Copies of this chain bind each other. A is one copy, B any other.
Amino acid sequence: MYVSHINKVEKKKVEMEETSGTYIQWLISKEQGAENYAMRLFTVEPGGVIAKHQHPWEHEIFILEGKGIIGAGDEEVEVSAGNFVYIEPSIPHWYRNTGNGEWKFLCIIPMKGVK
């Protein structure tokens, strides 16, 4: 069993074109013994955005706190704590914090999406 806490995991700035105020923490991945899927925590600062991008793997997302818009394909939805989202593989998708505080969500991806 591997047990840790989000306060113990390094926050890395997400470096991607037209993306700002976004940090990622890798909670469970290969290093912790996982073989099939990885759990990451994203923190998006007020005004922060993740630019539209796509890749051939899905997202399973759970919103922990704050408020933001998730866009995928031709729709946008505003989500907050308790919302969860499935984004199909290969769909263009993007994120925007629309609240006054940090927007935090878990995002689980299959291991084929892990570099």
User: Majority SS of interface residues in chain A?
Assistant: strand
Interface residues as binary, A76-115 with B (CB distance below 8 Å gives 1, 0 otherwise): 0101001111111001010000000000001010100000
Known: A1-B91, A58-B34. A39 touches B85 (CB 8 A): no
A91 to B93, CA, bound (A): 37
From B2, B37, B85, contact of A3 by CB (8 A): B85
**Complex: chain B residue closest to A78, CB-CB:** B3
Are B6 and A87 in touch, CB under 8 angstroms? no
Oligomeric state, in copies: 2
CB distance from A56 to the nearest CB of B (A): 12
CB distance from A9 to the nearest CB of B (A): 9
In the complex, what residues of B have CB within 8 A of residue A106's CB? Answer: 62, 106
Interface residues as binary, A56-88 with B (CB distance below 8 Å gives 1, 0 otherwise): 001010101000001011010101001111111
Are B85 and A5 in touch, CB under 8 angstroms? no
Are A1 and B60 in touch, CB under 8 angstroms? no
Are B3 and A77 in touch, CB under 8 angstroms? yes
A residues 12-37 with Cβ under 8 Å of B?
A: 27-28, 32-37
